[in-house]
Structure 1
Amino acid sequence: MPWTADLRRSVRLFSDFRVEQSDPARFYSALAEDSVGQLSGYRDLAGTTVLDVGGGPGYFRDAFRRAGATYWALDADVGELSGTGEIAGGTVVGDGMNLPFRDGSVDVCYSSNVLEHVPRPWDMAEEMLRVTRSGGVVFISYTLWWGPWGGHETSPWHYLGGARARRRYHRRHGHEPKNKYGESLFRVTMRDGVAWTRRQQAGEVLAVIPRYNPRWSYWMSRVPVLREVVTWNLVIVLRKR
Structure 2
Amino acid sequence: MSASPVTRLFAERATLSRSLRLLGSFEHEQTDPDLFYGAIARDTAELVDDLHRADTGRDLGGTVVLDVGGGPGYFADAFAARGARYVPVEPDPSEMHAAGLSVGGSIRGSGLALPIRTNSVDVCLSSNVAEHVADPWRMGEEMLRVTRPGGLVVLSYTLWFGPFGGHETGPWHYLGGEYAARRYRRETGHEPKNRFGRSLFPIRGSHGLQWARATENGELLAAFPRYHPRWAWWTVNIPVVREALVSNLVLVLRKR
TM-score category by the smaller chain?
Answer: over 0.9
Please identify runs of 4+ aligned residues in structure 1 that moved more than 6 A. Answer: 1-5
- Taking the aligned partners of 2:183 and 2:153, their CA distance within structure 1 comes to 37
Q: TM-score, normalised by structure 2?
A: 0.90
Q: Note if 1:210 corresponds to 2:225.
A: yes
- Taking the aligned partners of 1:46 and 1:4, their CA distance within structure 2 comes to 20
Structure 1, residues 196-239: CA drift from partner, whole Å, max 9, x if none? 11110111211110000001011122111111111111100111
Q: Note if 1:13 corresponds to 2:38.
A: no
- Taking the aligned partners of 1:40 and 1:79, their CA distance within structure 2 comes to 29
Counterpart residue identity of residue 225, structure 1: V
- Taking the aligned partners of 2:79 and 2:14, their CA distance within structure 1 comes to 22
> Which residue in 2 is equivalent to 1:74?
89
Q: 1:128 aligns with which of 140, 143, 146?
A: 143
Q: Note if 1:60 corresponds to 2:70.
A: no
Structure 1, residues 134-193: CA drift from partner, whole Å, max 9, x if none? 111100110100001101010011001111111111112121100000001111100101
Q: Note if 1:142 corresponds to 2:151.
A: no
Q: 1:215/1:5 Cα in 2 relative to 1: closer, same or farther (>3 Å)?
A: closer
CA-based RMSD of the aligned residues comes to 1.5
Q: 1:182 aligns with which of 189, 197, 210?
A: 197
Q: TM-score, normalised by structure 1?
A: 0.96
Displacement of 1:62 after TM fit? 0.3
- Taking the aligned partners of 1:193 and 1:5, their CA distance within structure 2 comes to 22
SS of the residue aligned with 1:42? helix
Displacement of 1:42 after TM fit? 2.3
Counterpart residue identity of residue 141, structure 2: E
Q: 1:164 aligns with which of 165, 179, 193?
A: 179
- Taking the aligned partners of 2:115 and 2:162, their CA distance within structure 1 comes to 32
Equivalent residues of 2:87, 2:105 under 8 A apart: yes
1:83-94 alignment, distance < 5 Å: 83-94=98-109
Identity %: 55
Q: 1:160/1:240 Cα in 2 relative to 1: closer, same or farther (>3 Å)?
A: same
> Which residue in 2 is equivalent to 1:173?
188
Structure 1, residues 103-129: CA drift from partner, whole Å, max 9, x if none? 111111001010011110000000000
- Taking the aligned partners of 2:219 and 2:115, their CA distance within structure 1 comes to 24
Counterpart residue identity of residue 22, structure 2: L
**Matched positions, count:** 241
- Taking the aligned partners of 2:41 and 2:221, their CA distance within structure 1 comes to 20
Displacement of 1:18 after TM fit? 2.2
Displacement of 1:20 after TM fit? 1.5
Counterpart residue identity of residue 218, structure 1: W
SS of the residue aligned with 1:96? coil
Residue segments in structure 1 that go unaligned for 5+ positions in a row:
none
Displacement of 1:5 after TM fit? 6.8
Q: Note if 1:107 corresponds to 2:122.
A: yes
Q: 1:24 aligns with which of 20, 33, 53?
A: 33
Q: 1:16/1:86 Cα in 2 relative to 1: closer, same or farther (>3 Å)?
A: closer
